[in-house]
Amino acid sequence: MAKPLILISNDDGITAPGIRTLVEVAMQIGEVVVVAPDGPQSGMGHAITIGNTLRLDKSIAFDDLGIEAYECSGTPADCVKLAKHHVLKERKPDLVVSGINHGSNSSISVLYSGTMSAAIEAAIEGLPAIGFSLCDYGHEADFSHTRPFVEEIIRQALKHQIPEHTALNVNFPKKSEETIKGIKVCRQAHAKWQEEFDERLDPRNRRYFWMTGSFVNYDKGEDTDEWAIVNNYVSVVPCQFDMTAYHAISMLNEWDF
């Protein structure tokens, strides 16, 4: 039986430690092809390149593993589009995986995340997809404890198939002395980033702003991704790109248009 074809991308760039971890796990399961940004693209959301050229070059990042890899000058969504329509135009991936992101993509962060936008772009293209993120922003973040869970989730996704037009948002707790308790299927927590803008002056005395702030969780439910992560579970949230607020349609139909 032929091995499943797994396309891998990310938003931290093709040389990031998280994508290497993901590649090393995925290559034990299937044939891996990597198409990832040539540099960091964090926080790009679902941006695509329309006013500039896109470059796609063979990469040596995974030559030591014998993996076919390409680096792209564009965004994570660009990478998935180019992979499907150019690199793999004669083949259809059995699964698209993105990450492992260096930092959390739980709750509302899914909207800003380049990692998840690569996965959601795959879902738009009709491909099953998973975005993986580690809730650790430290420079020396340890991804090792994610490996068995990445393997289990990928194998389950290939076995049972992800629902059509759905991408899974998977977040891992930061590594600690406590063993991860397991995997929980969750809903997205009701939370947001409370931004502040630090006003500063550059050396030429021109004003600029540096965005800061904190994450505020308004959700007290025990069925959310935030609860799962805080309680040392791996969270899995099924995401869709249809953002229609269906509950509001009947109300809007009562307006005097």
217 is in an annotated binding site: no
The three-state (H, E, C) secondary structure of 56-91, written as one string:
EEECCCCHHHCCEEEEECCCHHHHHHHHHHHHCCCC
176 is in an annotated binding site: no
How many Cβ atoms sit within 10 Å of the Cβ of residue 142? 14
DSSP assigned state of 225: H
| Residues 217, 107 contacting (CB under 8 angstroms) | yes
| Residues 237, 169 contacting (CB under 8 angstroms) | yes
12 is in an annotated binding site: yes
42 is in an annotated binding site: yes
Tally of helices (H runs) and strands (E runs) in the chain: 6, 11
CA–CA gap between residue 129 and residue 98 (Å, rounded): 8
Annotated binding site: 11-12, 42, 101
Annotated binding site for a divalent metal cation: 11-12, 42, 101
